[in-house]
């Protein structure tokens, strides 16, 4: 085993690192890394030794002149120092990063776990026994890992469950998690009302989550503003510098190669970075809808093929083409009566529309379905409570509600009712629903319903608690959408301004060159300036969708519309302004 070899030969190094980085033991405990700190640090020491050996060999090869190219001493020093230092720092920080990611996941899951504990406790189950039941679900993956850690603490130390839960809460360092478990432990020891405590704690957590959603809306606004400044104003500034520098060929501040790198590499890279920032700052659920992306398997190859026929030939001389496809941008240019040089931009428009349109339709279909199912599930739970008050059993109440209209959820409810009449267990019915629906909020609500019926028989009180929390969850989702919805306006305005301003600057420069008697390659200049605008609009739409809706798939709709806005901007600048 690797850890045995590393500890045998690098154990002293691991012990030395442990004396320097004493806090790593707590980080490893919180990250659930099942290694002794000395063994883990021995592995990091071994990897650092390997990268140091590589750096030494590289330095000796450079020093004795074995390289066919020349490298300056600062470059060589950077190459030699960077790998071992980064290996050591990444190894030391990895437990903290894993723990941080775990804390982020648990922070999103803990209100629903608290809701689960409240509902199960109202059905007569103890909170610790309720936690153990969560080991069997994939809906709360981070909490599932934490429950496994609590069990290991009990088995390895002999602690009672209440003390083990308190220790686990202290090790992790998450305020909401600590309040829930430490408060439960304190209430148990003092003989207080555990159910009332869990219920009030859950109410408090949902209120805090509502505040988090509002704060997330503010953060997303700042992120969109920052992205707009870089993607719109920054791009506009670079375009202006490039156009102006063409007037002074002997003092070019921005050569065409640099402009090409900025347009086709740097700006898309910035967009990818903002996608990561948006994902890190948003509240993400453990399960998401991925079926919407399946259409990319069909649209992506077709779109790339169209791009190879309508865009690549203008930048790669001699690129093989099929005339019927390569003439599409020329025909579209003639229809719109645009200037020569717009062909690759129009070809890029056609290719990206082929990629984006099916994806936009797919995302709309699945998102509308998920929204309708969530509304239906929430209404169904409220009606189930009222039916339960009439004395019907939970199973009979579900069957009696099957004929009501719950929108997108109705067909699933009818299937559940039929399966109940066939004698299929509730757990199997839920697994079947889970395989068909990928909305996490719907799944957690129905999982709570099934467990409530199994544990407490679906009493009125437990179902009432479940229905109230489901309604709170729906309100949180509504607030989440309401806070983020207005953010999409800015990119549309920015894309139109960027396109029209660039076209006007291009026309101004071309006219001034003609007046001054200077010959410029207007067609090539148009190709170089206009084509990146379409790609930039596409990436702008993807980032907008991610920031506003929390889904990359939603960005294809905005990308499609922003591409159309950019083409209209080119047309307006050519014929109207």
Angle subtended at Cα 219 by Cα 217 and Cα 225, rounded to the nearest 5 degrees: 105
Question: How high is the pLDDT of residue 577?
Answer: 64
Q: Is the pLDDT of residue 261 over 90?
A: no
In whole angstroms, what is the distance from residue 46 CA to residue 14 CA? 9
Which runs of consecutive H residues, i.e. helices, occur in 123-193?
Answer: 127-133, 141-157, 161-172, 175-190
Token digits of residue 567: 């083409």
pLDDT at position 248 is 65
Rounded Cα gap, residues 531 and 248, in angstroms:
23
- pLDDT of 167 higher than 60: yes
pLDDT at 353 exceeding the cut of 90: yes
52-to-46, 61, 110, 185, 439 alpha-carbon distances in Å: 10, 14, 43, 49, 48
| Contacts of residue 457, Cβ cutoff 8 Å, sequence gap at least 6 | 123, 394
Interatomic CA distance for residues 139 and 152, integer angstroms? 21
pLDDT band for position 490 (cuts 50, 70, 90): confident
Please report, for residues 49, 476, 504, 509, 523, the alpha-carbon distance to residue 520 in angstroms, rounded to integers and kept in the order given.
58, 58, 17, 10, 9
Q: How confident is the model at residue 357 (pLDDT cuts 50, 70, 90)?
A: very high
Q: What is the pLDDT of residues 501-526, one digit of tens each?
A: 888 888 777 777 666 555 566 777 88
Q: What is the mean pLDDT of the chain?
A: 82
**Residue-level pLDDT at 538:** 93
Q: What percent of the chain has pLDDT over 90?
A: 8
**How many helices (H) and strands (E) in the chain?**
25, 0
Q: Radius of gyration over alpha carbons of the chain, in Å?
A: 30
Tally of CB atoms within 10 A around 54: 14
Q: What letter would DSSP give residue 462?
A: H
pLDDT digits (tens, 9 = 90+) for 92-135: 888 887 777 777 777 778 887 887 787 777 767 777 777 788 87
**Helices 73-122 and 24-31, packing angle to 10 deg:** 50
Q: Give CA–CA dist 530/287, Å, rounded.
A: 40
Whether the predicted pLDDT of 344 surpasses 80: yes
pLDDT of 418-439, one tens digit each? 888 888 888 888 888 888 888 8
Residue 205 φ/ψ, nearest 5 degrees: -65, -40
Q: Considering Cα of 519, then 522, then 524, then 525, what sign does the dihedral take? A: positive
In this prediction, residue 461 carries a pLDDT of 67
């Amino acid at each position: 085993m690797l850890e045995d070899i590393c500890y045998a030969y690098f154990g002293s190094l691991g012990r030395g690192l442990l004396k320097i980085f004493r806090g790593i033991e707590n980080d490893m405990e919180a990250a659930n890394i099942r290694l002794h700190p000395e063994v883990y640090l021995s592995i990091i020491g071994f990897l650092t030794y390997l990268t140091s050996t590589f750096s030494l060999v590289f330095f000796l090869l450079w020093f004795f002149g074995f390289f066919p190219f020349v490298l300056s001493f600062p470059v060589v020093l950077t190459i030699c120092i960077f790998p071992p230092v980064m290996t050591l720092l990444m190894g030391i920080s990895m437990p903290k990063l894993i723990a941080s990611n775990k804390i982020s996941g648990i922070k999103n899951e803990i209100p629903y776990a608290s809701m689960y504990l409240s509902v199960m406790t109202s059905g007569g189950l103890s909170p610790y026994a309720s936690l153990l039941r969560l080991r069997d679900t994939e809906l709360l993956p981070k909490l599932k890992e934490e429950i496994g850690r609590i069990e290991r603490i009990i088995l390895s130390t002999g602690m009672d469950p209440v003390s083990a839960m308190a220790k686990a809460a202290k090790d992790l360092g998450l305020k909401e998690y600590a309040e829930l478990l430490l408060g439960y432990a304190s209430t148990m020891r003092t003989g207080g009302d555990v159910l009332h405590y869990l219920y009030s704690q859950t109410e408090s957590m949902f209120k805090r989550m509502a505040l988090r959603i509002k704060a997330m809306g503010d953060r997303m606004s700042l992120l969109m503003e920052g992205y707009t400044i870089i993607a719109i104003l920054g791009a506009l500034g670079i375009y202006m510098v490039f156009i102006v520098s063409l007037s002074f060929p002997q003092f070019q501040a921005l050569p065409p190669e640099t402009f090409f790198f900025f347009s086709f590499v740097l700006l898309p890279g910035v967009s990818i970075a903002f996608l990561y920032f948006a994902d890190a700052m948003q509240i993400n659920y453990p399960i998401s809808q991925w079926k919407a992306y399946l259409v990319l398997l069909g649209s992506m190859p077709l779109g790339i093929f169209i791009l190879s026929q309508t865009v690549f030939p203008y930048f790669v001389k001699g690129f093989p083409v099929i005339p019927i496809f390569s003439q599409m941008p020329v025909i579209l240019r003639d229809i719109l009566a645009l200037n020569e040089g717009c062909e690759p931009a129009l070809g890029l428009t056609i290719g990206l529309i082929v990629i984006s349109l099916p994806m936009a339709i797919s995302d709309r279909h699945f998102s509308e379905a998920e929204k309708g199912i969530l509304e239906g599930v929430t209404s169904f739970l409220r009606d189930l409570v009222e039916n339960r008050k009439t004395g019907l059993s939970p199973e009979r109440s579900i069957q009696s509600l099957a004929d009501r209209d719950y929108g997108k959820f109705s067909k699933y409810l009818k299937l559940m009712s039929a399966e109940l009449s066939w004698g299929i267990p509730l757990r199997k019915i839920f697994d079947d629903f889970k395989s068909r629906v990928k909305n996490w909020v719907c799944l957690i609500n129905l999982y709570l319903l099934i467990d409530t019926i199994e544990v407490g028989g679906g009493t009125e009180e437990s179902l009432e608690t479940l229905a109230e929390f489901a309604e709170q969850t729906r309100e949180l989702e509504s607030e989440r959408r309401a806070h983020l919805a207005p953010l999409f306006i800015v990119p549309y305005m920015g894309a139109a301004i960027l396109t029209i301003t660039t076209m006007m600057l291009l026309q101004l420069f071309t006219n001034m060159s003609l007046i001054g008697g200077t010959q410029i390659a207007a067609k090539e200049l148009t190709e170089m300036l206009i084509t990146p605008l379409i790609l930039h609009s596409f990436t702008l739409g993807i980032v907008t969708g991610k920031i506003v809706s929390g889904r990359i798939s939603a960005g294809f709709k905005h990308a499609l519309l922003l591409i159309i806005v950019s083409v209209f901007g080119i047309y307006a600048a050519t014929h109207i302004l």
